[in-house]
Amino acid sequence: MVHRRTINDKDVIFGNQGALFGNAMTWFDHDTGSIWSQPRGEAILGPAKGTKLELLPSTLTRWGEWKRLHPDTRALDAPGGDTRYALDQLSIVVAFGDDSAAYPVRSLSSVVNDTVDDVPIAIVIEPENRESWSVWSRTLNEGVIVDLSIDANGDLIDTISGTTFHISRGTGLAGTYQDQSLDLLPGFTSFEDDYFTFYPDGRLWPDPG
């Protein structure tokens, strides 16, 4: 997950506070020493308590695919290792306003069309690599709402108009709306139990009701 670290037009420096809240990382800011919850992007202790950061769109994909699409990208060269967790153990979380939903990856096939806080969204997991996922807006220009699936070529396709979109870029490829692009939306991963710690009124997809 990616947050904008600007508060009242000032860039703020954050550090790892070291403790966990809701089984998730906490930060401290260098200005006030307040403690922040990573999933909420919100100060939970200290002078800045209640202040929220803006959650920015992000995606999870393979480095090779990202580098192919964005060849000028610079990356932090740091040692890494295998994680203990697989994506299938997590849920993809989308939160807007007072509404939120968690989509267990183990239950997802490739595309879920849904609505969160009246925002039409699509959760997309790439069929060739289930470690790659994105959250896209289903609203195009002039309020057109698409219904997305994945076609035989591995591209996104609007089942209503037949328009195809690039699965990683969201750009139109062919069809009625080929001159338009899907907008990437914020989303992040969380363990199911931890999701309800931060969003007690949230819902788990599919809705049992």
pLDDT digits (tens, 9 = 90+) for 117-132: 999 999 999 887 777 8
Q: For 91-108, what is each residue's pLDDT tens digit?
A: 999 999 889 999 999 888
**DSSP-assigned letter for residue 206:** S
CATH class of 63-73+85-204: mainly beta
79, pLDDT greater than 90: no
> In the chain, pLDDT over 90 holds for what percent of residues?
61
* pLDDT value of position 131: 79
197 by Cβ neighbours in 10 Å (0-12 / 13-18 / 19+) ranks as: middle
143: Cα separation from own chain's centroid: 22
In whole angstroms, give the CA distance from residue 135 to residue 60: 10
Contacts of 78 (CB under 8 A, 6+ apart): none
209, pLDDT greater than 60: no
For range 61-84, the mean pLDDT: 78
* pLDDT value of position 143: 94
85, pLDDT greater than 80: no
**DSSP-assigned letter for residue 185:** -
Contacts of 59 (CB under 8 A, 6+ apart): 132, 133, 134, 135, 168, 184
Which has the higher per-residue pLDDT, 139 or 56?
A: 139
* pLDDT value of position 1: 82
Contacts of 173 (CB under 8 A, 6+ apart): 155, 163, 164, 165, 166
* pLDDT value of position 208: 56
* pLDDT value of position 84: 66
191, pLDDT greater than 60: yes
* pLDDT value of position 146: 98
For range 46-65, the mean pLDDT: 88
| Domain spans, the chain | 2-55, 63-73+85-204
* pLDDT value of position 100: 95
* pLDDT value of position 92: 94
* pLDDT value of position 83: 65
> In the chain, pLDDT over 70 holds for what percent of residues?
96
10, pLDDT greater than 60: yes
